[in-house]
Every structure is written in structure tokens, then in C-alpha cells.
């Protein structure tokens, strides 16, 4: 890690957060653009560049190590954002090229889950690990796979799509067009569906389908509600199989989790630990820590994006 400041940019459908990160991993300031205000990539890149210049001037920072961008469908190899469904730009946006034309430093792009893995490795709980897998679980299920200290990109930059590995043949339909993907069981939507099915089976009242559903479910589980507890159990069983499969692939030292689904902490992580132990192949003798991200929810995305620049530039 060099002794320079870095800019981390977290691009989402609603907001673009642009943060200045010091070499020690403190997020000095975050400014915000409304992503949805921009439909033209060039104008958007210019607005980002202006914001970066402003932040740098404000903090008397002359030189940057680089700019890291985490974006849905961010493509590391091409430096593009590829037709992300929830972003206002159609087709491919060559964000790296557009920004490097304006800024006096290098720019790197990757997707959110990869950024989360970088962030954990550089600033979070994975500093000691050179082989681990980060699962980001919210609306979707992403994965960032670190092998020998490097992000696994595969032949075309889109490795690590573990949310779309089949865990139940001919199982639940997925938005990707396949059936039985991990994402259909362990994403927020997947967990809600499991709760719904169990509530019907147990003839118990549903929880309202709001942004707070998962928090309500956690509260119910704390109060020993059998449907909520069984929902965590079934979710963890499927996650345990997926993790044992991932272990057979790259034999990581640890698994990390980030995102809305693991805000309940050990309520879900403990059953995951139990099922992973049951599912793992006997030849893997080492104990594998299964941990929630050490980064605070507010900073994680910016730090992840900044960490890409630290690792890749």
C-alpha cells in the first residue's frame, strides 16, 4: 500500500458516492451525485471529475494513487459498466476511458462484490488472508473470490457469479432465466419466499413485505418464533452446500459476508457455520472462519472501491 490518498466511487442506481480515502483507510469525506440525473456517460464522467477536483482541493491533496470504481456490472478488463439494468445509461459506458481523459491519474472499475472483497482485504477483516471468498447478499447474491491475494477475474472479467450456481436442480425460477440458483434462496427475496412458504405450512401470520421484513424476522427469531428460526435454518443449509462447493473449487482460508441479509449476524451465521461443517469435504482439515465484514455499513462500498485502486494500480 503506497502512502497516497485514493478516491473510491460507489455507483448505484440512485446515488453515486465519491469518497476521499487516506492511506490508513479512513474515509475523509464523501460527496454525492444523483446517478439518475445523468443519461449521458460523458456528462456524468465530467461531473464525477469536477467533484473529485473539489474534494482534493478542499483537503489539500495534490496527487492521488488512483480512482477505484465499484459498479453493478463493472467490467475490470474493459473498464466499462456493461448494460446494468438499474443504471440510466444504455449499453456499455467506458467509464475508465472517459475519466482518464480528464483526470491526471489511473482509474479502475470492477463490480460491487469484487470491490467488497478488495475492501475487506485492504481495510477490513481479511488483511491476514490471501485466499478467501466474500459473499455480498442483498437484492442479489454476488461473490468476490480472492486467490493468492488477487481477485479472480477469469478469462473475460466476469468470474465469481456464485449467486447463479445451481443449488437445487429445477428449483425456484431465477431472474437470470435459469432455475434453482443460489440467489433464489438466499437473497432478500429468496429468504422472504422461504418465510412465506413456511408461514403457510405452519399456518402462521405472514410478516409485512416491506424494507423492514428482514429486521422483523430477526426480531421474531430472537423471540424463538419457529417459522423465523426455520427460515434461517433452511437458508443456511443451502448456503452451506454452496460454500462447501466453493471450497472444493478454490480451497479458501475464510468466508466473509456483507449485505442486508447478514445484518442479523449470528442468527444466520451460526446455522451457516453448522451446515458448512456438515457439508464440507473431509480432506479440508483447516478450520474455516465464517465472518461478517469488519467494515461499517456506511463506509464499506467507498472503501471497497478505493481498495481496488490500492490493489490494482
Residues that bind a second copy (CB under 8 A): 130-131, 145, 147, 152-162, 164-169, 176-178, 241, 244-246, 248-253, 279, 281-286
Contact call for residues 300 and 120 (beta carbons, < 8 A): no
* Phi and psi, residue 231, nearest 5°: -65, -45
102/152 with CB nearer a second copy? 152
User: Residue 255 Cβ, how far from a second copy at the closest point, in Å?
Assistant: 12
105/152 with CB nearer a second copy? 152
185/232 with CB nearer a second copy? 185
User: Residue 257 Cβ, how far from a second copy at the closest point, in Å?
Assistant: 18
User: Residue 154 Cβ, how far from a second copy at the closest point, in Å?
Assistant: 3
User: Residue 239 Cβ, how far from a second copy at the closest point, in Å?
Assistant: 12
Contact call for residues 241 and 235 (beta carbons, < 8 A): no
User: Residue 179 Cβ, how far from a second copy at the closest point, in Å?
Assistant: 10
User: Residue 194 Cβ, how far from a second copy at the closest point, in Å?
Assistant: 15
Identify the CA nearest to 142 among candidates 150, 129, 151: 151
Secondary structure class of 19 (helix, strand, coil):
strand
Angstrom distances, CA of residue 76 to CA of 58, 82, 95, 156, 287: 30, 11, 11, 9, 32
57/281 with CB nearer a second copy? 281
Which cell is 130 given?
490471501
- Residues 158, 26: Cα–Cα separation, whole Å: 29
47/168 with CB nearer a second copy? 168
72/94 with CB nearer a second copy? 72
Q: In what order do the strands lie in the sheet with 64-70?
A: 27-34, 15-21, 5-11, 64-70, 107-110
Q: Angle CA(42)–CA(45)–CA(51) in degrees, nearest 5? A: 145
**135, 137, 140, 143 alpha-carbon torsion, rounded to 10°:** -10
DSSP 61: -
User: Residue 252 Cβ, how far from a second copy at the closest point, in Å?
Assistant: 6
52/73 with CB nearer a second copy? 73
16/75 with CB nearer a second copy? 75
User: Residue 80 Cβ, how far from a second copy at the closest point, in Å?
Assistant: 13
Longest dimension (CA), the chain: 64
44/276 with CB nearer a second copy? 276
Contact call for residues 45 and 53 (beta carbons, < 8 A): no
Beta pairing class for 132-137 and 254-258: parallel
Q: Residue 205: how many CB atoms within 10 A of its CB?
A: 8
User: Residue 286 Cβ, how far from a second copy at the closest point, in Å?
Assistant: 6
Amino acid at each position: 500500500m503506497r502512502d497516497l490518498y485514493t478516491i473510491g466511487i460507489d455507483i448505484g442506481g440512485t446515488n453515486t458516492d465519491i469518497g476521499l480515502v487516506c492511506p490508513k483507510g479512513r474515509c475523509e469525506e464523501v460527496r454525492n451525485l444523483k446517478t439518475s440525473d445523468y443519461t449521458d456517460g460523458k456528462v456524468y464522467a465530467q461531473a464525477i471529475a469536477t467533484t473529485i477536483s473539489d474534494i482534493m482541493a478542499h483537503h489539500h491533496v495534490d496527487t492521488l494513487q488512483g480512482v477505484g470504481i465499484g459498479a453493478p456490472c463493472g467490467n475490470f478488463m474493459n473498464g466499462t459498466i456493461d448494460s446494468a439494468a438499474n443504471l440510466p445509461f444504455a449499453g456499455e459506458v467506458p467509464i475508465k476511458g472517459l475519466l482518464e481523459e480528464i483526470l491526471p491519474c489511473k482509474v479502475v472499475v470492477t463490480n460491487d462484490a469484487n470491490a467488497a472483497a478488495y475492501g475487506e482485504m485492504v481495510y477490513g477483516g481479511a488483511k491476514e488472508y490471501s485466499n478467501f471468498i466474500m459473499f455480498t447478499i442483498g437484492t442479489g447474491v454476488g461473490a468476490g473470490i480472492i486467490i493468492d491475494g488477487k481477485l479472480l477475474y477469469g478469462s473475460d472479467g466476469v468470474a465469481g457469479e456464485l449467486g447463479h450456481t445451481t443449488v437445487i436442480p429445477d428449483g425456484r425460477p431465477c431472474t437470470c432465466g435459469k432455475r434453482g440458483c443460489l440467489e433464489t434462496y438466499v437473497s432478500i427475496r429468496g429468504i422472504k419466499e422461504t418465510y412465506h412458504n413456511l408461514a403457510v405450512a405452519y399456518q402462521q401470520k405472514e410478516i409485512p413485505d416491506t424494507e423492514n421484513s428482514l429486521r422483523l424476522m430477526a426480531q421474531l427469531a430472537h423471540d424463538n418464533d419457529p417459522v423465523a428460526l426455520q427460515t434461517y435454518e433452511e437458508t443456511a443449509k443451502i448456503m452451506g452446500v454452496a460454500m462447501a462447493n466453493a471450497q472444493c473449487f478454490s480451497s479458501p482460508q475464510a468466508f466473509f459476508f456483507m449485505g442486508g441479509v447478514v445484518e442479523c449476524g449470528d442468527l444466520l451465521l451460526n446455522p451457516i457455520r453448522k451446515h458448512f461443517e456438515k457439508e464440507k469435504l473431509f480432506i479440508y482439515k483447516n478450520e474455516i472462519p465464517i465472518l461478517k465484514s469488519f467494515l461499517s455499513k456506511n463506509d464499506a462500498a467507498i472503501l471497497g472501491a478505493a481498495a481496488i485502486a490500492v490493489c490494482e494500480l
